[in-house]
Amino acid sequence: MPTAPAEAAPPRGAASCAGCHPRTAGRGPIPSLNGQPSEQIVSQMTAFRSGERASTVMSRIAKGFSDEEIRAIADYFAAAAAASPAPAQP
């Protein structure tokens, strides 16, 4: 029986996201990524990476990921919607 995406092992880099982004909404100023639309995560990560969106931490982190890695991370967190309450919007 195939593993559901939300139960799959996180792709490279996704585990480090949980260090700042809570698993559920409403736990501090940094939004949860669980359940965020994949395209929104990709858009924000590429904006951080290019410098279009300024940040002291995320700009440096995003520069370490390729387009494929960003997509894998985004898809992983988007798939977590079924396992988590609706996330707060960033």
pLDDT digits (tens, 9 = 90+) for 48-69: 999 999 998 999 999 999 999 9
Q: What pTM value is reported for the model? A: 0.78
Instruction: Give CA 8 to chain center in angstroms.
Output: 15
Instruction: Give CA 6 to chain center in angstroms.
Output: 13
Length of the chain: 90
pLDDT of residue 87: 46
| CA Rg value for the chain | 13
